[in-house]
Amino acid sequence: MSSGEGGNGDDGETESGGSGGSSDADRGRGGDWRDRGRQTLDWLVNASAAQRMAISLAALVFAVIVGGILVFVSGFVATCRQPVLYIPLLGESCYNPAQVYWTMLEGAFGSTANLARTLQETTLLLFTGLSVAVAFRAGLFNVGTQGQMVLGALATGLALVPLGSVLPDSIIGMLVAIPLGLVVGAIVGGFWGFIPGAMKAYADANEVITTIMLNFVATGLAFYLVSEHLGDPGTGSVQTVPVPSVARLPPTIDGSRFSVIALVGALLVAVAIYLLYDRTVLGYELRTSGLQESAAEYSGVDAKRNVVTSMSLSGALGGIAGAVYVMMVHYRWQTGMPALGFDGIAVSVLAGNNPIGVVPAALLFGGLKSGSFAVDFALGVPGELVVVLRGLIILFVAMPEFFRMLGKYYDFGSDPEPVATDGGERR
């Protein structure tokens, strides 16, 4: 925090409101959440790739350990027919954490069917993870990928239904239907990202709050539209009419709903985003606009428009995740979509917000989610375990200082350059 203007910037606020955003960074207002984002980005940028990977791995290990303890303790409370552990004085436990994680691994990669399920999750997580990462790279925290995905999925699900009677049920028809579905999802998701982006850029509304609110609005709006107006009248549940077969991505592995086309597409998008952000002028401008608005404006960049662009791009990726969900997994929109948008946050922070890093992070998280089905089915450990793990991973990645202190305490190697988690330390 630069203390140039003194603590009580009450009146500075009104004055700077008129002079436009260029003076933004000069104002001594460390409390702004945008600075928070910048500080986060600071350590992500300042930390070397190796440090970032070490933090992610350590976060993962700690999340797994805490999750294991949770499972172990729950085992004493749960009721089951065959306790697996007996500890004198404590009693019998239903769950053995090592067995739980082993089952999870087997459930994720143990058979072709399991692998297909894992890759299906991975594909969707690639899109939501990239959605969050794109915003993060520009210093914006998009918590709204979930809502962008829900509305994107709904739009795709509705737009594709009439195509069944128009397009030939062949590869040609598919070449029209599937790109169209993606575009519709991207536009609607992008619009839902555009709103908080424009509010951030032109009204200075904090994007964390607006995106969370818009998640609730999106879920409620979709539920209302489908249950009252656009739903499948043939069923009692809140869902749309299924999309025609011409708009369904063909499964690559028999009996599964995983299409390698979607996975390859997702990987290409990851590479494209990496190139966009690290190799092009536009990418550079997008990054600096979110991180250092004033610096960007000095060099003649329209920082506000770029903030809107970043959020719209992020939303479009969330919308595409929804479109792929409809065309590859569920073949219709139904209420209660999985929380892939929030998983995307975990994927992105685990990847250090690097588009290429999102690939292994999505695979890992896809494995966790897929494996949790097996754990639930075979051992009776609630699948919600993976939701807890998701939160723990996000928590541990957010506290690199913890691992640094731990490393210092055990005297691991030389103390690395202090990572600036705090703007105040940089000066």
- Site for another protein contains 77 (CB under 8 A): yes
Task: Give 218 or 247: the residue with its C-beta nearer to another protein.
Answer: 218
Our CB check for another protein shows the closer of 46 and 256 to be 46
* Choice between 264 and 406, CB closer to another protein: 406
Q: Does 323 bind another protein (CB under 8 A)?
A: no
Residue 399: Cβ-neighbour burial (10 angstroms; 0-12, 13-18, 19+): middle
Instruction: Decide: is 416 part of the binding site for another protein (CB under 8 A).
Output: no
**Residue 148 interacts with another protein (CB under 8 A)?**
no
Residue 402 lies near another protein (rule: CB under 8 A): yes
Nearer to another protein, 323 or 393 (CB): 393
Q: State the minimum distance, in angstroms, from the CB of residue 130 to another protein.
A: 18
Going from the C-alpha of 64 to that of each of 59, 111, 129, 384, 386, the distances in angstroms are 9, 23, 20, 14, 10
Nearest C-alpha neighbor of 204 from the set 16, 350, 342, 46: 16
Q: Which stretch binds another protein (CB under 8 A): 50-58, 116-124, 262-270, 418-426?
A: 418-426
Determine if 236 is a binding residue for another protein (CB under 8 A).
Answer: no
Q: Per CB under 8 A, which region of 3-11, 48-56, 266-274, 323-331 contacts another protein? A: 3-11
Q: Give the binding range for another protein (CB under 8 A) out of 109-117, 174-182, 218-226, 407-415.
A: 218-226
- Interface residue with another protein, options 7, 18, 88, 234 (CB under 8 A): 7
- Residue 176 binds to another protein (criterion: CB under 8 A): no
- Should residue 417 be labelled a site residue for another protein when binding is judged by CB under 8 A? no
- Which residues in the 337-396 window bind another protein by CB under 8 A? 342, 345, 349, 382, 384-392, 394-395
Residue closer to another protein, measured from CB, 54 or 217: 217
Among residues 15, 26, 401, 415, the one that binds another protein under rule CB under 8 A: 401
Q: Is 230 in the site for another protein (CB under 8 A)?
A: no
Distance of alpha carbon 237 from alpha carbon 231, whole angstroms? 9
Q: Which of 212, 267, 276, 378 binds another protein (CB under 8 A)?
A: 212
Stretch that binds another protein, among 97-105, 206-214, 279-287, 325-333 (CB under 8 A): 206-214
- Tell whether the torsion through CA atoms of 321, 322, 328 and 330 is positive or negative: positive
Smallest CA-to-CA distance from 74 within 413, 396, 416, 381 is with 381
Which of residues 200 and 248 has its CB atom nearest to another protein in the complex? 200
Total of chain residues touching another protein, rule CB under 8 A: 72
Phi, psi of 260 (to 5 degrees): -65, -25
- Both tokens assigned to 376: 């639930």
The answer to whether 83 contacts another protein (rule: CB under 8 A) is no
Residue 407 binds to another protein (criterion: CB under 8 A): no
CB of 296 to another protein, least distance (A): 19
Contact flag: residue 199 with another protein (CB under 8 A): yes
**Interface with another protein in residues 10-49 (CB under 8 A):** 10, 13-14, 28-33, 35-37, 39-40
Q: Which residue in 203, 234, 236, 281 binds another protein (CB under 8 A)?
A: 203
Neighbours of 165 (CB within 10 A): 8
Q: Per CB under 8 A, which region of 101-109, 263-271, 356-364, 419-427 contacts another protein?
A: 419-427
- The nearer residue to another protein, 28 or 251, going by C-beta atoms, is 28
Q: Scan residues 116-145 and list those touching another protein (CB under 8 A).
A: 141, 143
Under the binding rule (CB under 8 A), the answer on residue 51 touching another protein is no
